Structure 1
Amino acid sequence: MATGPGNGSGSKAQSSRPISIISARHKFAQLSWQRLTSCLICEAIALGALGMPKAFATLGMAYGIIFTVAIGLLATHCSLLLAKACLKLPHLKDYAEVMGYLFGKRGYWIAATMLVVCLTLSTASHVLTGVIAFNALSSNATCSVTFSLVAAFLLFVLALPRTFTEMALLAYIDFASILAAIVVTLVTCGIEASKQPGGLQATEWYWFLPKERRSDWPQVIVAITNIVFAFAFAQCLPSFMSELRKPDDVSKSLWTLGGLEIVLYTVIGSTAYYFKGHLVESPTILSINPTMEKVAFGLALPVIFISGSINTQTAARFLYDRIFGNSKHRFMDTAQGKIAWVALGFFITIIAWVIAESIPVFESLLAIVASLLITAFCYAFPTLMYFGVLKQGKWNESWASVGGTFVHVAILALAICTVVGGCSESHTYPLSLLTLALI
């Protein structure tokens, strides 16, 4: 058969297409463990860190430190379980696919719905936090709807990067922002405490709360639940891991994040409680003078919007990958792919804005959903992965197996208690849960 120029060029075009897609895929596998750590910090540590002192005031200094360290180690352990499951099943690229492996198609769709709802509500909470910050910075009686539209626009624009490698660059700014806000808040707390009548000795704080200062049981539950939520980030971990250049490096990121969170939360909680005592508010920015409150909120603006936008980006990536599968639009910069990506980010942000503005009991609803979804993603589901993916052999074949089974059943029981406790008290203390659960 004769071979003309047309046949040769057609063959060349066909062979170049998969090569182009393969090279485009490479862009989505460039995340270093350092940048993964940056993305995880962006997801995990935000303005809610400044709610820790209120938990310390409720529990007392000693129990505040004990619960912070213990829950931090527990959260790190659960995230490592999730990471090990993802490494064992490298073809699974997000949380829903991992749950689908364990529980079939029904498990996949339930987890997918939970993931998108959780991330969208998180974006909605950042809309509200942006409004609070703008109101604190403004001396004019500007309509809160205007502020919420500005907040939603910023969340949308910052969620436009398509890869987590690109988002990690914004995450560095995010971390610098929250550190600056924390330092300003703690230094101001210290200066104000030293200038009060009687100086630092006049502040009323306790290692162990005396009987007359002990909080009621619902407040204790909320304080512990807030600490549990402060370490929540695992809902995004499988999606982040899908871009890792060296997947085995994930443990470096998780230990770095876990250690940083434990140290940072312990320092914030103990220092602000030492300076402000039982009068400390949540977040602690509200405990300082109005001028420095404006400064702290101004410094915190990047973290409010970047930490919110990474949730929008993760939700959009999940939906985008479902829409395009393994087609060229998923990996290459096609016009159709770009339009779809922008449209998804816009749609998620608009839904989040509508929820934040139109639901009268949004804070109570958010507290309940946060109790359920965040606890499931960060504590309960990783424990199920231990039994369904990681555990080898029967539960009673060795002392190590018996111990592992007992520990993870206990973690699952604690997760259920957190859900029940958080949901039962959300109507009484919704803002406290909101502060640390999702902002």
Structure 2
Amino acid sequence: MSTPVELEKQESKRDAEKESEAYADPFGDESTAAVKYKTLEWWQCGMLMIAESISLGVLSLPATLAQLGLVPALILIVGLGIIALYTGFVIGQFRTRYPHIQNLADAGEVLFGAVGREIFGLGQLLFSIFIMGSHILTFTVMLNTVTEHGTCSIVFGVVGMLICMVCSLPRTMKNMTWISMCSFASIFTAVLVTMIAVGVQHSHRGVSPLVQATVENSLFRAFSAVTNIVFAYCAHVAFFGLIAEMRDPREFPKALCLLQIFEIVLYVVAAVVIYLYLGSDVASPALSSAGPLLSKIAYGIAIPTIIGAGVVNGHIGLKYIYVRLFRGSGRMNSNGFVAVGSWIAIGLSCWLVAWIIAEAIPNFSDLLGLISSLFASWFSYGLGGVYWLHLNWGQCFSSPRKIALTVINVLIILMGGTLCGLGLYVSGKAIHDDTGNASFSCANTA
């Protein structure tokens, strides 16, 4: 019969084993694994982040300049980009402290226990599916533009869903690298074509007389534009998953700087050039501003981004479900029937839900605003402050530097809450007031 001391030791051992299992590497020992995940170099990670972030977001920015005016919009684009760089560094620090984290659910468990795990995991999954839906919607707009509404928009949406589903079949992030590189080259070229097109078409008049440094605005109209800028910096939801698949996670800051520097520069240049030539006549997505012929060319060039960036974003959500189902089992690294079949079933289910969302909210700006308000406000901004406070709890007022950082991070949390609350109001009102396109309609979404 065990003594009380021995029973206490046995209980402590069981608790330690449970904790070790909960905080285990999600991919396990890959030395002899059939499927290896931790293979990303820092530049590959950076390219995946660029493909995930610089896609649909840049297409909405010229219209935000028209809504806010040139000066306020540029301040917001640069300012929110710098804050996103800081919160990205905090995410990297948080993952270094807790190297078992593979997704937002793991981070939620560290912060708030089992309840946090479920809430954060559901949030990450819904965010990924909404992003997937926005890419299906853009695919529909693209085909309507290129074919001049050749058939029912619902058919175009189904085609987009099936193509994205097929491209989602690879299970590792490294296999997404080529898709991400094609996506980046695609959106960069499409935006460049649009800038050249509007510059050539309106070169005779120079800067548009409709350009304004500031615009008198309502809260609804102004904050709708702000949510589109926030969407342009929505890559943070994928950072934990990308770091987990890096060969050397310590090199994550290099990938982050590659993303944010390129992102801010491209956003400012593209938004300013297109807005200066078109003024308040600029369309959203911006590719539609290039004129009847060149907009078709621009959308054609953008096809790899419309598909590829959606696939990269969707991969994050699919991987969350897959890891949740098979973490710690041999199927994580297996090519067997159950493993492959489960991955395909997860992908098909998520892309089907994404298609339903795209058909239910068939307005590009409205959908981006809703995604920004519900998810990006916290994942890219507010939660960065929460992570920092968790890492520094008990030392927040230990020095002048810590006090300053504490104030900054509390303000970031408040900013995330404000973006979420006001953003939900304006995006909900925009969806309610929009009479341009009906849900589940064959109408021309272009």
Q: Report percent identity of matched pairs.
A: 28
* Change beyond 3 A, Cα 1:20–1:411: closer
Query: RMSD of aligned C-alpha atoms?
Result: 2.4
| 1:248 equivalent among 228, 247, 250 | 250
Alignment equivalent of 1:27, drawn from 32, 36, 60: 36
Distance in 2 (CA, whole Å) between partners of 1:365 and 1:185 is 23
The residue that corresponds to 1:422 in the other structure is 423
Does the 8 Å contact 2:129/2:354 carry over to 1? yes
Q: Does 1:125 align with 2:126?
A: no
Matched letter for residue 425 of structure 2: S
Answer with 222-231 or 39-48: which moved more. Answer: 222-231
Distance 2:41 2:324 in 1: 25
* Structure 1: distance between partners of 2:59 and 2:192: 11
- 1:147 corresponding residue in structure 2: 156
Matches within 5 A, 1:84-103: 84-103=93-112
Contact 2:165/2:351 (<8 A) preserved? yes
Q: Which moved more, 1:219-228 or 1:179-188?
A: 219-228
Counterpart of 2:288 in structure 1 is 286
Q: Does 1:58 align with 2:67?
A: yes
Q: Distance in 1 between matches of 2:393 and 2:149?
A: 63
Contact 1:356 1:362 in 2 (8 A): no
Q: Distance in 2 between matches of 1:201 and 1:317?
A: 47
Give, in angstroms, the shift of residue 20 of structure 1.
8.9
Deviation digits for residues 32-51 of structure 1 (CA, Å, limit 9, x no counterpart):
11010111111101133022
Paired residue for 1:181, among 190, 215, 219? 190
Q: Assess, with a 3 A threshold, how the Cα gap between structure 1 residues 355 and 269 changes in structure 2: closer, same or farther.
A: closer
Which residue, out of 44, 48, 51, partners 2:53? 44
- Could you tell me which residue of structure 2 aligns to residue 216 of structure 1? 218
The superposition leaves residues 374-400 of structure 1 with CA deviations (integer Å, 9 ceiling, x where unpaired) of 2111111121110112x1643222111
Between 221-230 and 76-85, the greater mean CA deviation after superposition: 221-230
- Structure having the higher helix fraction is 1
1:226 and 1:432 in contact (8 A); partners too: no
The Cα offsets for residues 398-417 of structure 1, whole Å up to 9 and x where unpaired, read as 11111011111111111111
In structure 1, the partner of 2:412 is 411
The 3-state SS of whatever aligns with 2:33 is helix
Q: Which runs of 5+ in 1 are unaligned?
A: 1-18, 434-439
- Once the two structures are TM-superposed, the CA of residue 59 in structure 1 deviates from its matched residue by 2.5
Aligned length: 408
Return the alpha-carbon distance in structure 2 between the equivalents of residues 223 and 103 of structure 1: 33
CA deviation map 1:244-265 (0-9, x unaligned): 0010000001111111111000
Could you tell which deviates more after superposition, 31-40 or 313-322?
A: 313-322
Amino acid at match of 1:373: F
Cα drift, residue 303 of structure 1: 0.3
Q: 2 CA distance for matches of 1:423 and 1:77? A: 25
The 5-angstrom pairing of residues 4-403 of structure 1 reads 22-24=31-33, 27-139=36-148, 141-195=150-204, 199-201=205-207, 203-206=209-212, 208-209=213-214, 213-357=215-359, 367-389=369-391, 391=392, 393-403=394-404
Question: Whole-Å Cα distance in 1 between the matches of residues 113 and 260 of structure 2?
Answer: 31
The residue matched to 1:22 in structure 2 has which SS?
coil
Give the distance between the partners of 1:153 and 1:236, measured in 2 at CA.
23
CA contact (8 A) 1:86 1:92 kept: yes
Q: 1:104 to 1:399 in 2, by over 3 A?
A: same
> Any conservation in 2 of the 1:71–1:228 contact (CA below 8 Å)?
yes
Structure 1 position 143, deviation (Å): 1.4
**Structure 2 CA distance for aligned equivalents of residues 75 and 323 of structure 1:** 31
Separation in 2 of the partners of 1:228 and 1:432? 22
Matching residue's letter, 2:413: L
Q: Structure 2: where are the runs of 5+ without partners?
A: 1-27, 435-446
Task: Give TM-score scaled by structure 1 length.
Answer: 0.87
**AA aligned opposite 1:376:** W
- How far apart are residue 356 of structure 1 and its match? 2.7
User: Displacement, 1:182?
Assistant: 0.3
Does the Cα contact within 8 Å between 1:76 and 1:254 map onto a contact in 2? yes
Distance in 2 between residues matched to 1:407 and 1:423, nearest whole Å: 24
1:119 and 1:312 in contact (8 A); partners too: yes
Shift of 1:339: 1.3
Q: CA deviation at 1:360?
A: 8.2
Q: Deviation of residue 365 (structure 1)?
A: 7.1
Which residue number corresponds to residue 8 of structure 2? none
Q: Deviations over 1:5-25 (max 9, x none)?
A: xxxxxxxxxxxxxx9953227
For 1:35 and 1:248, how far apart are their aligned partners in 2?
14
Q: Distance in 1 between matches of 2:353 and 2:283?
A: 31
CA contact (8 A) 1:128 1:148 kept: yes
User: Any conservation in 1 of the 2:227–2:369 contact (CA below 8 Å)?
Assistant: no
Contact 2:135 2:306 in 1 (8 A): yes
- Partners of 2:432 and 2:300 lie apart in 1 by 21
Give distance in 2, aligned partners of 1:129 and 1:41.
18
Counterpart contact for 2:138–2:364, Cα < 8 Å: no
- In 1, distance between residues paired with 2:226 and 2:315? 30
Question: C-alpha offsets along residues 286-344 of structure 1, whole Å, 9 cap, x if unaligned?
Answer: 22211111001101111011111112221111111111122221112222211111121
Tell me how far 1:146 sits from its aligned partner: 1.3
Q: Give the partner amino acid of 1:282.
A: S
| Larger mean Cα displacement after TM superposition, 327-336 or 260-269 | 327-336
How far is 1:192 from its partner? Answer: 1.2
Give the whole-Å Cα distance in 1 for the aligned partners of 2:122 and 2:316.
13
**Residues 85-144 of structure 1 deviation map (CA, whole Å, 9 limit, x = unaligned):** 011111122111011011000000011111111111111121111111111011354111
* In structure 1, C-alpha distance between the alignment counterparts of 2:219 and 2:361, rounded to whole Å: 29
Asked if structure 2 preserves the Cα contact closer than 8 Å seen for 1:46 and 1:304, the reply is yes
Q: Per-residue deviation at 1:359?
A: 6.8
Q: Distance in 2 between matches of 1:234 and 1:365?
A: 19
